[in-house]
Each structure stands twice: as C-alpha cells, then as structure tokens.
Amino acid sequence: MKQLILTIAILVYWQTVSAKQYDFVVSQDGSTDFLTVQEAIMAVPDFRDLPTVIFVKSGVYKEKILLPTTKTKVILIGEDALNTILTFDDYASKHNRFGEEMGTTGSSSFFVFGDDFTAKNLTFQNTAGPVGQAVAIRVTGDRAYFQHCRFLGFQDTLYAHGERSRQYYKSCYIEGTTDFIFGWSTAVFEDCEIYSKEGGQYITAASTLEDVAHGFVFINCRLTGDAPERKVYLGRPWRVHAKTVFINTEMGAHIRPEGWHNWNKPEAESTAYYGEFNSSGPGADSSARVAWSKQLNQNEIAAFSIAVILAGNDGWTPGVNLANKLWPSAHHKN
C-alpha cells in the first residue's frame, strides 16, 4: 500500500513539473485553462518580454484564429500533429455578412501578425475543398518558426505574406493543388514533404520584392503527390521578381520537365530568379528545364545557407526561443 501511495505521489509530482513547462493549456473537455486556442492567445500579455507557451491538447479546433501584432513571442505546441488540428472552411469567393467576397486573405483559417511566433506538432487546415483560393494559414509576422507541423488545403494553402517577414519550416508537411506555397516572404523549408494533390499545376507562386535577396528556399525536401506524371510546375511568378530555389531536393515524376512557368509574363524571364542544385528523382532531369532558370554550382549555393538567408540585421537563429522557454532556469510571468 505504501509503495502504491509513493508511486501515485511520484506520478502527480512529475505531472506538476511537466505542466509548469506551459503558461496555458487548451483542451475541449473543460479541464484546462481554456476551451479555445483564440481565448488562450488573447490571454497572453501584450508585448511580453518572455516567450509564452500554449499547449494544445489533441482535438479538432474549428476556429478562425488571429494572433494580433501585440501578441509576440507566442509558442503554440500541439499534443500530436496528426490529431491536434486547427481548422476553418472559409474561401475567397464566399460572401461575408456584408455581402462582400472574402478574398484570398479573408479566407485564412489562421492569421499570424505577431513577431517571433513558434508552432510545433500542429495541423493548420482549410477544409473548404477545391473551391478556389482557401488559405490554411497566413503568416505576416517576422521570425516565424514551424516544426513538425502540417498544412492542409487545396489552392493557396500556405500564404507566406509578410514582405519583410522571415520564416522557417522544419520537418513539415505541406499539401495543395495550385500555388499552395505563395507570397512575399523570405521562407526556408528544410526536410519538408511538399505534396501536390491531383488537379494541381503549380507548387509555388512567389511575389518577392525586387530588393529582397531571397524568396522561397527548399533544402533537403521531397516533392511528392498523387498528381499525374509531368503535370506540376515547380513555380510561377506571382510578381515578376519572384525568387525560388530548390537545393538537394528529391522530385517525383509529377514534376514537369520544363520545371518553371512564366505565368504569361515574358518580362519575368529576365527578372525572376529560379534555381536548383543537386535535384534528384524522376522529376529532376535538368536537360529540358526552361532556359531562363538556373542550375546552381557549389560556389553559388553558399549564398543559400540558412544562416545567410534568415539572419537579417538581428542574427536570428530559428528555434532558440523554444529551447530557452521549455527548459528555463526560472519560470514566471512578467
């Protein structure tokens, strides 16, 4: 009996210690701090100096979620990426209560405006289906970091929106049909699976500003999908200075031999920057790539290291805040 009591006491102790890793916990059964993710986000002190960790227990959270600019250094951790799902079902041509079309931005299920946002072990989803633009997440804030996350949708799944935003996606899964990774931001995708669903034709649609050095950079990724063979382009320029590079990427048979499309903008052929280095797989044959794309050499890819791409003026290193927060020397709110 004493041994049983001791065992229970130890279990309770370690559960308490574990709980202290998180500032707030969200679950749908009413046993924690909040029932919804949005409530937990709004409870974060504005412009807090320290990171705030929100743990989200498994469940399907059908919410249209907004992380305001005042909610900085928020870390959102799911219990399990496959079973912790943040989802909504708006789409661009849907009308709001004023009778106006929502548009691409308005269709977003999750809006990230706050800087230094981190997400781990979560699914971001738009379930509107193949009805045109329907964004799962729009990321505008700077220094956004996603690890072991899934992004599910059809057209325009992941909107890397911020013109000066830097974003890092590590070991993530992203699926869609047309332009399902798009926007102005500088974004690195490392060790990710990029899945082209049947009916799609383009993976990326960057709209990089002319004076921004990097757009989308894929490193050690896999391009997979159930799209037919030779039907999917690596990208097309939403704006004429689009920049997209694939490094050490395994490309499936669904990738078109020509690789890139000019979106009927001949001028983009001299202004866009589309490149590859060491592509592999059935979709990697460079012999038929469009002449205005680049096959990079070893010297040229030095400019595409993660440190160079994301450092900016502040020397950002993705993931540092997450490590410091989960194993701090002291845990308190300020």
Q: Residues 291-313: pLDDT tens digits?
A: 999 999 999 998 899 999 999 99
Q: Tens digit of pLDDT for each residue in 237-281?
A: 999 999 999 999 999 999 999 999 999 999 999 999 999 999 999
Q: With pLDDT > 70 as the criterion, what percentage of the chain qualifies?
A: 90
> What is d(CA 74, CA 84) in angstroms, rounded to the nearest whole number?
17
Q: What is the pLDDT, as a whole number, of residue 201?
A: 96
**Mean local confidence (pLDDT), 26-37:** 94
What is the SS3 string spanning the chain? CHHHHHHHHHHHHHHHHHHCCCCEEECCCCCCCECCHHHHHHCCCCCCCCCEEEEECCEEEECCEEECCCCCCEEEEECCCCCEEEEECCCCCCECCCCCECHHHHCCCEEECCCCCEEECCEEEECCCCCCECCCEEECCCCEEEECCEEECCECCEEECCCCCEEEEECCEEEECEEEEEECCEEEEECCEEEECCCCCEEEEECCCCCCCCCEEEECCEEEECCCCCCEEEECCCCCCCEEEEECCEECCCECCCCECCCCCCCHHHHCEEEEECCECCCCCHHHCCCCCEECCCCHHHHHCHHHHHCCCCCCCCCHHHHHHHCCCCCCCC
Q: What is the mean pLDDT of residues 29-47?
A: 96
156 is catalytic: no
Domains with residue ranges and CATH for the chain: 57-326 (2.160.20.10)
pLDDT digit string (tens) for 120-172? 999 999 999 999 999 999 999 999 999 999 999 999 999 999 999 999 999 99
Residue 215's contacts (CB-CB under 8 Å, 6 or more residues apart) are 185, 186, 187, 206, 208, 242, 243, 244, 245, 273
pLDDT band at 109 (very low <50, low <70, confident <90, very high): very high
Rounded to two decimals, the pTM is 0.91
In this prediction, residue 329 carries a pLDDT of 47
Task: Determine the pLDDT at residue 23.
Answer: 96
> What's the mean pLDDT when you consider all of the chain?
91
Rounded to the nearest 5°, which phi and psi values hold at 84?
-110, 100
pLDDT given at position 317 = 86
Q: Look at 15-24, 100-109, 233-242, 275-284 and tell me which has the smallest mean pLDDT.
A: 15-24
Please report the pLDDT score of residue 7 as a whole number: 43
**What's the half-sphere exposure (Cβ side, CA atoms, 13 Å) at 8?**
5
pLDDT digits (tens, 9 = 90+) for 181-215: 999 999 999 999 999 999 999 999 999 999 999 99
**pLDDT band at 321; cut points 50, 70, 90:** low
How would residue 12 be classed by pLDDT, with cut points 50, 70 and 90?
A: very low
Among the listed residues 142, 179, 285, 314, the single catalytic one is 179
For position 330, what pLDDT does the model report? Answer: 41
Per-residue pLDDT band for 96 (boundaries 50, 70, 90) equals confident
